[in-house]
Homo-oligomer: A and B are copies of this chain.
Amino acid sequence: MSLDPSAAEFEYDRDTRVDKRDDGAFTATLTDGWTTFTTHPNGGYVLGTALNALGQTLSQPDPLVASAFFLRPAAPGPADIRTRTIREGRRTATGESVLEQGGKEIVRATATYGDLAPDPAARVLALEGPPRLPAPEDCPVLPEFDRPEGVSIAHRVDYRFPDRPRWLDGHKDGRPHNEFWMRFADGRQADTGSLAAMVDFAIPAVLEIGEFSTITVELTVHVRARPAPGWLACRVYTKHVAGGLHEEDMEIWDSSGTLVAQARQLAMLV
């Protein structure tokens, strides 16, 4: 069950809800509210659901690092989640979470949790800053992102781009690098658990070079800080494509200009 009764008011919490069974495993229902233009539920949403169960299994509050292998596309419908504690240490706890549908593994995540409560005494080095974006209210709402048919995640997540992505107009010679704002559409604020999902909410950068069909093999996310409320500034980019594979990097910065999550995935062109 959800630990915070009020949380169920928000779409993300309702749709990633997990219920613990008597045997210790969890059940969940993946909804059709987070589909991308692959028509499948977004991988980050599926990972967030798997981590929701793991977070209830481990003693530490915040995911520090999670690695997820995407074994098969998810489908809206019931899912079973098995979690297991690998090691509980003093500062960190590590466990795994396997989400299955129809008896087949969809996502296998391993994660280390810890405590990201702010520590004013801790050293801070920040050699790069957030994307320099116009204020969100000065970025137009693109008609293609205004509650489109089919791509249901764009009903759950607000995106604001300072410049119209060139792939929307059929260009295939762009630079696979986009900077944009993002937030949950229903006013839910990001937290460390949802950041681990949101790092997969970007439109793939390789669309800018005409690659429209890419599937994630593995995604690793580092959650670096508890986010301040408000819009999230994001940077997504790909630098290397070779042999049918590419990496995609994603950074999320909060409204105070702090890096709160960074992720890299290896994806395959299909």
Contact = CB atoms under 8 A, between A and B. Distances in A.
A241 interface: yes
B87 A222 contact: no
Given A125-B209, A127-B240, A245-B64, A222 B266 contact: yes
A11 interface: no
A124 B269 CA distance: 12
A220 B218 contact: yes
A128 interface: yes
Contact of A176 (B119, B122, B125, B247): B125
A94 B110 CA distance: 14
A50 to B, nearest CB: 14
Nearest to A210: B123
A116 interface: yes
Interface in A37-69: 64-65, 67, 69
B122 A105 contact: no
A105 B238 CA distance: 35
Contacts of A217: 64-65, 92, 112
7 contacts: A64-B245, A67-B67, A71-B87, A108-B110, A119-B244, A220-B220, A240-B259
Interface of A: 64-65, 67, 69, 71-72, 86-87, 91-92, 94, 105, 108, 110, 112, 116, 118-119, 122-128, 175-176, 209, 211, 217-218, 220, 222, 224-225, 238-247, 258-259, 262, 264, 266, 268-269
